[in-house]
Structure 1
Amino acid sequence: MSLVIASGTLDTVWSEFSLVSFSTSTLADLSACIGEVESKLKRGTIGASTTPSDVDIARWLDRAKQELAETKNYTFRKRYVTAATVASQYRYALPTDYGGGRLSIRDITNDRQILIWDEALFDAKFPDPSEENPDEPSIACIKNMEVWLVPPPAGAYTLELCYDRTGEATATDFTWLPVIERFRVCDFATAESFSSLHDFDKAQFYYTRWEKGIGKAIRADGKRKWARMRYQAISGLQAYIARGNQG
């Protein structure tokens, strides 16, 4: 991501941590999803000059992904990326699709979990992070679309960031969604398509299908989380022992 600041541009290159994706089925990419909407509209081949156009449908599909990612605690909105630090630089731009909320940072190079502090506490403790002696970062603070590290890195360390995505930066990418969710975003785009044609009865039908699908996704997600938790929370002692495992 590139942020324009008073002293220039803050550039941070984040790379997807995993290359594993869900099965493609019949909705492997943007073109296939547009074809799914096209088959429901029954208006022939959709292109740049049709109503709605393929650009319109792509935009609605993108919005549907963002609506889905906005669902509270939705498992598959989570994304893992890595970036390299620069010696003595304590400010880094967050990924363009960072959606706020949950976030964790690891220093993979030094096998360290970086603690995230509240802004007020961070600013009170470190009014000027540049005055800290460069070393292995141990504390971070999220400031809008930036992450600040103290101490400033002493060299090129690899950071792993886990965060909740918006879906916006992956307009043509559907690989992070299970196939059933791809069908659901197509339902939303179909509803928007009929709405643009002023066929509001059919639009409402697909809006209802979309909303029911979101409800199912939330319930299924909750069941997955409960099964994985085994009804046991991590205690403070367990977290402390785990942090020192590779120290």
Structure 2
Amino acid sequence: MSFHKDHWLLFSVTCFGFVGLSLIIGILPAKWVQDNAVPLPGMQPLTALEKQGLGVYVGEGCVACHTQQVRPLEMDAAFGRPSVPGDYAYVTPLGPWAPYAPAVLGSQRTGPDLTNAGRRQPSEVWQYLHLYDPRAVVPDSVMPAYPWLFDVVASAPEGATVVPVPAPYAPAEGVVVPNERGEALVAYLLSLKQAPLEAGDEHATAAGGSAANGADGLGAHAGGTR
């Protein structure tokens, strides 16, 4: 019987071939990078709150519209220096039920790259406003609002951050304060800051130098908000 008429053989070869190529081309290289990435000098591990925020970031689907990978292209200069494996050394599994590091690199930019979100928009209040209703700070934004990351209360508890929502977007009564998940997400966003690369560093070579961006990787523009 010829190969193309033996359906079971054809299915088996196709199936195992697909699995084998996936392992060789995608899974094993990614696992190697995850296990061998060395943090850049000056990088700090995520705090417990920031790690919780990473979980919120993934759970809310932020990766569907935002990347965290700066390519060695002129059009990416506004987002920072080109990314290197060490940038993701502290992006670790979220728990025993998630044995692999979350895929924060993303593949689409409906919104801007967030690699340096903590440098480009370091204001905690701005981040809260942007999450509560993006149109409050970026009138033409297409980003959805995330009001469930906040509570509307008659008066803010002691120590809580009151979000100064402008009149057109504010609730009819009460004040807006972030809940635990909102605080965690903003803490994570503010932690997104590229570590500088020293001249001659092996990581700098891997990043292609990126002299146009400077050592801090901020580039020429601080905008790019969604």
TM range (shorter): under 0.3
Provide the TM-score with structure 2 as the length reference: 0.24
- Which structure features the higher share of strand residues? 1
Normalised by the length of structure 1, the TM-score is 0.23
